[in-house]
């Protein structure tokens, strides 16, 4: 394994900051440690996240808490079947009083953008969001406007309600570094949420008052650079490639993972290692992130879908058949 690029003192300091960031988010988004870790790994990996879960599990609260703890600007877009690209990106207007065009920037001009129920948007609006996610800029009336870093889209979708929704194009799904699934919490965590949400409160309101700001956008940029310097052994790289390549020929998988799946695993595994105070990625980091990095990049064959088999089940079977390296 090559020599570390991260001094021990800087590594310990970064891990401490990230643990405090995680704890701060958890002041509002109770429990669900796995979800918070995965979202943080995507943030440090410089990517976007698709969050799937039934209503009422705190998806909006998670994004608001993350934005506040990170010191970034937050905006929310509620996607509907009649939403237009200009409602997301902004537009230019002619002002007859001075004879000039005025640019009005849309809600994507923020650090953390919550694209709520993104699969309700028509294809044209989804394409506009795709450009923003891919290029980190918005084109208004032929002029490109760069977005201030950090820039992260956290899109949500409801897995149950399908009426009035538009399936996300594969190209857009592939732009999400991870697809994070929020499931129902364990009973003890759900009880804590119940008490937190009802204690001395008579109205339902997202409460992030207890979330402390831990970072600034500038500090976050430095942490992202540190995550990119975490070592990845050649044996781990080979392991990642074997997972992705075998997904393309694995029984039951109709469409395997793209190269972006491998890139996503490595980028997020580096972040997970930094969060744990390590300057190197382990095979367990890859196993830990493989489902979230691949579940939206593979699809079961039709027969298995009818039987109720999911992408997560197939990924689990795939990982069992591929031997992990020993470092």
Which DSSP string do the residues of 18-47 spell out, in sequence order? HHHHHHHHHTTS-S-HHHHHHHHHHHHTT-
pLDDT of the residue at 2: 46
Domain annotation for the chain: domains and CATH numbers = 27-215 (3.40.50.300)
Three-state secondary structure call for residue 4: coil
Q: Do 101 and 94 meet the contact criterion of CB atoms below 8 Å apart?
A: yes
CA 281, CA 261: separation in Å to the nearest integer? Answer: 16
CA 4-46-213 angle, to 5 degrees, is 95
pLDDT along the chain (327 residues), means of 10: 73 96 92 93 96 85 94 94 93 79 89 93 87 88 87 88 70 90 88 79 67 95 96 97 96 92 97 96 97 94 87 96 91
**Whole-structure pTM value:** 0.90
pLDDT of the residue at 111: 96
| 59-96 CB burial, b ≥16 within 10 A, e <16 | bbbbbbbbbbbbbbebbbbebeeebebebbbbbeeeee
CA 140, CA 310: separation in Å to the nearest integer? Answer: 41
Closest by CA to 76, choosing from 85, 90, 63, is: 63
pLDDT of the residue at 201: 61
Q: Do 179 and 261 meet the contact criterion of CB atoms below 8 Å apart?
A: no
DSSP state, residue 118: G
Those residues whose C-beta lies under 8 Å from the C-beta of residue 38, and which sit 6 or more positions away, are: 49, 178, 180, 268, 289, 292
């Amino acid at each position: 394994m090559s020599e570390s690029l991260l001094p021990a003192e800087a590594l310990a300091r970064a891990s401490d900051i990230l643990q405090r960031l995680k704890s701060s988010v958890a002041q509002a988004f109770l429990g669900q440690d796995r979800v918070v870790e995965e979202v943080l790994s995507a943030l440090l990996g410089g990517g976007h996240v698709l969050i799937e879960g039934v209503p009422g599990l705190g998806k909006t609260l998670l994004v608001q808490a993350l934005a506040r703890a990170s010191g970034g600007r937050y905006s929310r877009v509620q996607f509907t079947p009649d939403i237009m690209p200009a409602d997301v990106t902004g537009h230019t207007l002619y002002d007859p009083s001075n004879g000039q065009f005025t640019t009005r920037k849309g809600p994507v001009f923020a650090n953390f953008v919550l694209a709520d129920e993104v699969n309700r948007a028509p294809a044209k609006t989804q394409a506009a969001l795709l450009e923003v996610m891919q290029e980190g800029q918005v084109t208004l009336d032929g002029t490109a406007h760069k977005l201030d870093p950090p820039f992260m889209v956290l899109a949500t979708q409801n897995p149950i309600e399908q009426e009035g929704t538009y399936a996300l194009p594969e190209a857009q799904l592939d732009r999400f570094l991870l697809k994070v699934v929020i499931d129902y919490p364990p009973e003890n965590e759900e009880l804590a949420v119940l008490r937190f949400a009802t204690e001395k409160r008579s109205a339902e309101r997202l409460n992030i008052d207890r979330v402390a700001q831990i970072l600034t956008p500038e500090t976050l940029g430095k942490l992202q650079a540190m995550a990119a310097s975490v070592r990845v052994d050649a044996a781990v790289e080979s392991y990642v490639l074997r997972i992705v390549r075998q997904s393309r020929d694995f029984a039951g998988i109709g469409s395997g993972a793209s190269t972006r799946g491998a890139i996503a695993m490595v980028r997020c595994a580096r972040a997970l290692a930094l969060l744990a105070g390590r300057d190197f990625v382990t095979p367990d980091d890859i196993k830990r992130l493989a489902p979230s990095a691949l579940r939206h990049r593979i699809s079961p064959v039709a027969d298995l879908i009818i039987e109720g088999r999911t992408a997560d089940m197939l990924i689990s079977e795939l990982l069992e058949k591929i031997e992990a390296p020993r470092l």
